[in-house]
A and B are shown apart, each in its own frame.
Chain A
Amino acid sequence: MSAEYVDYSTGEPIADTKAPAGPVNERWDTRRFEAKLVNPANRRKHTVIVVGTGLAGGSAGATLAEQGYHVVQFCYQDSPRRAHSIAAQGGINAAKNYRNDGDSVYRLFYDTVKGGDFRARESNVHRLAQISVEIIDQCVAQGVPFAREYGGLLDTRSFGGVQVSRTFYARGQTGQQLLLGAYQALSRQIAAGNVEMHPRTEMLDLIVVDGKARGIVARDLISGKISTYFADAVVLASGGYGNVFYLSTNAMNSNATAIWRAHRRGAYFANPCFTQIHPTCIPRTGDHQSKLTLMSESLRNDGRIWVPKAKGDDRPANKIPEDERDYYLERIYPSYGNLVPRDIASRAAKNVCDEGRGVGPGGQGVYLDFADAIQRMGRKAVEAKYGNLFDMYQRITDEDPYQVPMRIYPAVHYTMGGLWVDYDLQTTIPGLFAIGEANFSDHGANRLGASALMQGLADGYFVLPATINDYLARNPHKDEVDASHPAAVETVRETEDRLARLLAVDGDRTPDSFHREVGELMWEFCGMARTDTGLRKALERIPQIREEFWRRIKVPGTGEEFNQSLEKANRIVDYLELAELMCLDALHRAESCGGHFREESQTPDGEAARRDEEFGYAAAWEFTGTGQAPTLHKEDLVFEYVHPTQRSYA
């Protein structure tokens, strides 16, 4: 480990200056009123770049274009419809209280702050809860085919960490249906000429002029051509960075390059170590494994999680009698049972496997059993509710979950950390906004199920389109910036140099081999449980891998063609820096909170022990150079409404 890197300094504190004072339930209205507006006739004179077309980017692009802005949008996929939001299965939360079960905006706010283990900003979370109800209206109007009751009204179900039924869903394909809604709205604007869409085009750097974000450098993935694009503001909706772990439930090409390059250009990166490990994924089968597949958390509504009571019990599941099974979540957390939040369910699974009671190959699995549900509801009802998930499980594992319990194990799924943003979702670079999973704002140290879709759409449909006006109204960019501007020329040169360097090494290791190596290291030392010693080991190893990467990487072909190896290798360059920051953040946060579990900081019964006095802040890191110690800026978190308590789901 380079001593220099760990030896970070603490800079000036950082604070959100955009959320107005006053009662939390009035802040959003106040902010919208105070924000300056752009006259409808002037909006078409403003160009906004949006990177990414998932729930956040797709909804933002469509909405900004509807307002009259000129939108230039990018995605690396061949179509904006393929962004990884499409794979979200379970549902989307909204405080509609259609069930009359005691839900309210305030309860959703409360649940989210508590679920995030008191590491999120109250004003942001309250706004999210308020907007949740409008999202459902919006999506229904677009024709999103949510599940309905026989009376024609919308159906809901429960998710982990809450005791009301507020999750709207479209079978196991809620993300797909919501994304197609946003994609269709975006398509309408593309046809109208208000959105200039660039598919198969990947952002490789941010162009900053006079301290403001003014454009991007992007590569056409078909021709390999590097181009510059300019705008009055840039919106990053490029998703999370879970793929730093190599194996995750993210899409294969989901990557951190857009946010990491923005970070290098001056955007602070907040809470990078806050990673969500999802408890119900299909266990890996071997070294060939390229990604992991999640089974929706909604399965925990009816499935029961258990392992054998005895260590090393290798009898088949149905040969283990009832009294020799340990339904450990129901035992340890009787009031929430199988529906405890994700971080708690994942850690409990790890614990029983570490005790030697795991099932399946390598003992890396626990059972998720539907036998009781099938008996209670009948096979037909189980099929109607979860049929597509059962089919998917069977296809991947070749086991029939109607006959034998599913085997599941936790896997990296979501990253709560991301670019630091204020209440307006603006990063520390003026004119650069980050929305959806790309920012750090709303989920604290742990995200509740069905809240990612809610946040992505809240940011894209409602928050950003209201707050970006204020920036654009205050910053009329009369000065035209084009490709000849020195900042643009320099940024393009750096990008071209980086790609040329990757192609020139001509070593003896493939991009995947490096990605796998850093991923395994991160999973071991910066995964479900972290220690001071382990993190220091990882911090020692990462610069070595980086050095080896630049010595031994082999990227075939050229930069002037469709070259998937080059795309991969270039993303790994950024993972190899981001991984280091994640480990440093995890090392510095010597407390446990939400998805970040430091073994040194736990309660006597093994639960995460927060240390609010010392760590009641969001950690925003400033980049100072590759391998150089970053500067920490702390945003103090103030809880006026939901007072921090040790979370209890017992």
Chain B
Amino acid sequence: MKLTLRVWRQKNADAEGTMSTYEVDNISSDMSFLEMLDTLNEELILKGEDPVAFDHDCREGICGACSLVINGDAHGPERTTTCQLHMRSFKDGDTIDIEPWRASAFPVIKDLVVDRSAFDRIIQSGGYITAPTGAAPEAHATPVPKPDADFAFEHAECIGCGACVAACPNGAAMLFTSAKINHLNTLPQGAPERETRVLDMVAQMDEEGFGGCTLTGECATACPKGIPLMSITSMNKEWLRATRKVAKR
């Protein structure tokens, strides 16, 4: 197929950005979206132009590196990561808009590459269980009811791509933050830090400049791993519980 691409080009964090138009031809429907961009970049290099910068790594939908807004949707029209989106989702002659994640807490580094280190700092603020190496009890000492283990797993699946933030009209990181809180706070191992975890992570999230949640639900629709919107509700409940419990202390 033959396609027209309108791509966000921005030389660096300080430069002004603009949408630039490119034509690509001989695109196979079996290609992944990123392979289509590879094709464009090969052409640009040979023409002596700067290829389009974009984050990508595993190309299996698990590392969370790829991060494109395609025709206005984070990760494009299918519920998956950009790297797992295939060109069969598009038609010959289509015009495709490609932009980076748009959120004030994710500044653009170059073209389609953004800085997501705010997510790392949210995890650093409490998204862990304190279990220094060597101090672990026998694994079967604490059975975990299967429903709890499954609930924890569903939230632990988050790949930290940031699509939730990009999709949210408020640029909120509630789905990301809640996924980690629900993963760890559901497990018995996470109980000792249950209150500090939710309070600290939410505080860090606010400090990073992410917006607030108005329950539009765009985040859960964009999430390639299907983290449910209810995750945010559970986090709010955890936060309320922790606030009251800490106040009593």
Which of B48-56, B214-222, B241-249 is the contact stretch?
Answer: B48-56
B124 interface residue, CB < 8 Å from A?
yes
Contacting A508 at CB < 8 Å: which of B46, B63, B117, B152? B46
- Contact assessment for A137 and B139 in the assembled complex, using a CB-CB cutoff below 8 Å: yes
Min distance, Cβ A74 to any Cβ of chain B, angstroms: 14
B129 interface residue (CB < 8 Å to A)? yes
State which residues 170-211 of B face A: CB under 8 Å. Answer: 183-184, 187, 189-190
State which residues 1-37 of B face A: CB under 8 Å: 11-12, 28, 30-32, 34-35
Binding-face segment, A110-118, A206-214, A288-296, A484-492 = A288-296
B144 lies within 8 A of A173 (CB):
no
Q: By the criterion CB–CB under 8 Å, are B45 and A143 in contact?
A: no
List residues of chain A with CB within 8 A of the CB of B130: 188
B100 at the A interface (CB under 8 A): no
A556-B133 CB under 8 A given contacts A150-B146, A183-B123: no
Contact string, A274-292, partner B, CB cutoff 8 A, digits 1/0? Answer: 0000000000011011110
A564 to B65, CA, bound (A): 14
A392 to B152, alpha carbons, bound, how many Å?
22
Contact A199 B117 (CB under 8 A): yes
Complex interface: chain B residues within 8 A of A252 (CB) = 56-59
Q: Decide if A98 is an interface residue (CB 8 Å cutoff).
A: yes
Instruction: Tell whether, in the assembled complex, residue B153 and residue A556 are in contact, meaning their CB atoms are under 8 Å apart.
Output: no
Contacts of B146 in A (CB 8 A): 148-150, 152
- Determine the chain B residues whose CB is within 8 A of the CB of A294 once the complex forms: 60
Partner of B156, one of A145, A291, A396: A145
User: Chain B residues with Cβ under 8 A from A398's Cβ?
Assistant: 86, 88
Q: Is the CB of A188 within 8 A of B128?
A: yes
In the complex, A142 Cα to B156 Cα: how many Å? 12
Query: Interface size (A, Cβ < 8 Å)?
Result: 80
A603 at the interface (CB under 8 A from B): no
State how many residues of chain B have any CB contact under 8 Å with chain A.
Answer: 77
Q: Residue B38 at the A interface, CB < 8 A?
A: yes
Complexed CA–CA distance, A137 and B137 (Å): 6
Query: What DSSP secondary structure best describes chain B's contact surface?
Result: loop
Q: Are A152 and B143 in contact (CB under 8 A)?
A: yes
A184-B123, A290-B34, A510-B46 given as contacts; is B140 within 8 A of A82 (CB)?
no
Q: Tell me if B102 is interfacial: C-beta within 8 Å of chain A.
A: no
Contact assessment for A191 and B125 in the assembled complex, using a CB-CB cutoff below 8 Å: yes
Among residues 58 to 104 in chain B, which have CB atoms less than 8 Å away from a CB atom of chain A? 58-65, 78, 80, 84, 86, 88
Binary interface profile of B, 123-152, with partner A (CB < 8 Å = 1, else 0)?
A: 111011111111111111011111001001
* Cα–Cα distance between A139 and B187 once the two chains are bound (Å): 13
User: Taking the complex as formed, is A380 at the interface, i.e. its CB lies under 8 A from any CB of chain B?
Assistant: no
Contact with B along A456-484 (1 / 0, CB 8 A): 00000110010000000000000000000
User: Which single residue of chain A is at the shortest CB-CB distance from B187?
Assistant: A143
A154 touches B58 (CB 8 A): no
Bound-state CA distance A513–B41 (Å) is 12
Query: Is the CB–CB distance between B49 and A556 below 8 Å?
Result: yes
Smallest beta-carbon distance B63→chain A, Å:
4
Contacts of A371 in B (CB 8 A): none
Residues of A contacting B149 with CB < 8 Å?
Answer: 145-148, 152
Which of A96, A143, A396 neighbours the largest number of chain B CB atoms within 10 Å of its CB?
A: A143
Q: Are A140 and B136 in contact (CB under 8 A)?
A: yes
Residues of B within 8 A of A142 (CB): 128-129, 131, 189
Chain A nearest Cβ from B7, distance in angstroms: 15
A492-527 with Cβ < 8 A to chain B = 508, 510, 512-513
Task: Let me know if B109 is at the binding interface, CB within 8 A.
Answer: yes
B residues in contact with A149, CB < 8 Å: 146
Contact B117 A151 (CB under 8 A): no
Q: How far is the CA of A396 from the CA of B153 in the complex (A)?
A: 24
Whether B239 is near chain A, meaning CB under 8 Å from some CB there, is: no
Interface string of A586-624 (1 = CB under 8 A from B): 000000000000000000000000000000000000000
Which residue of the partner chain, among A77, A143, A151, A395, contacts B143 with CB atoms under 8 Å?
Answer: A151
Whole-angstrom CA separation of A494 from B197 in the bound complex: 47
Closest residue of A by beta carbon distance from B36: A288
Contacts of B63 in A (CB 8 A): 77, 82, 84, 86-87, 251
Q: Given A87-B60, A143-B129, A290–B136 Cβ distance below 8 Å? A: no
Given A66-B132, A148-B149: A392 and B187 within 8 A (CB)?
Answer: no
Would B143 and A288 count as touching, CB distance under 8 A? no
- CA A386 to CA B64, docked complex, whole Å: 21
Question: Which residue in B34, B119, B128 is a CB contact (below 8 Å) of A184?
Answer: B128
For the complex formed, measure the closest distance between the CB of A243 and the CB atoms of chain B, giving whole angstroms.
11
Please state if A141 and B137 are interface contacts (CB–CB under 8 Å). yes
Give every chain B residue within 8 A of A79 (Cβ-Cβ).
64, 116-117, 119-120, 160
Q: CB within 8 A of B38: which of A173, A290, A465?
A: A290
Q: Are A286 and B46 in contact, CB atoms less than 8 angstroms apart? A: no
Shortest Cβ gap from A396 to chain B (Å): 7
Decide if A346 is an interface residue (CB 8 Å cutoff). Answer: no
Specify which chain B residues have a CB less than 8 angstroms from the CB of A137 in the assembled complex. Answer: 136-139
The smallest beta-carbon distance between A17 and chain B, in angstroms, is 27
> CA–CA, A121 to B60, complex, Å?
34
- Cα separation A87 to B63 with both chains bound (whole Å): 7
Q: How far is it, in angstroms, between the C-alpha of A78 and the C-alpha of B67 when the chains are bound?
A: 12
Nearest chain B CB to A502's CB is how many angstroms away?
13
Query: A145 and B187: CB pair below 8 A?
Result: yes
User: A185 touching B157 by the CB < 8 A rule?
Assistant: no
Residue-wise, chain A 557-579 has the 8 Å CB interface mask toward B (1 for contact) of 10001101100000000000000
User: Chain A 143-175 against B: per-residue CB contact (8 Å), 1 yes, 0 no?
Assistant: 101111111111000000000000000110100
Question: Could you say which of A180, A285, A392, A564 contacts B60, with CB atoms under 8 Å apart?
Answer: A392
Q: Give Cα A78–Cα B120 distance, bound, in whole angstroms.
A: 10
19 contacts between A and B (CB under 8 A): A66-B132, A79-B120, A81-B120, A86-B62, A141-B136, A143-B152, A148-B149, A149-B146, A154-B140, A170-B156, A187-B123, A191-B124, A252-B56, A286-B30, A289-B35, A395-B84, A510-B46, A561-B11, A564-B53
List B residues at the A interface (Cβ < 8 Å).
11-12, 28, 30-32, 34-35, 38-39, 42, 44-46, 48-51, 53, 55-65, 78, 80, 84, 86, 88, 109-110, 113, 115-117, 119-120, 123-125, 127-140, 142-146, 149, 152-153, 156-157, 159-160, 183-184, 187, 189-190
Known contacts A180-B156, A252-B57; 6 additional CB pairs below 8 A are A87-B62, A96-B139, A142-B189, A176-B62, A251-B58, A286-B31
Closest 8 CB pairs of A and B: A152-B143, A184-B128, A141-B136, A141-B131, A191-B124, A137-B136, A145-B153, A285-B30
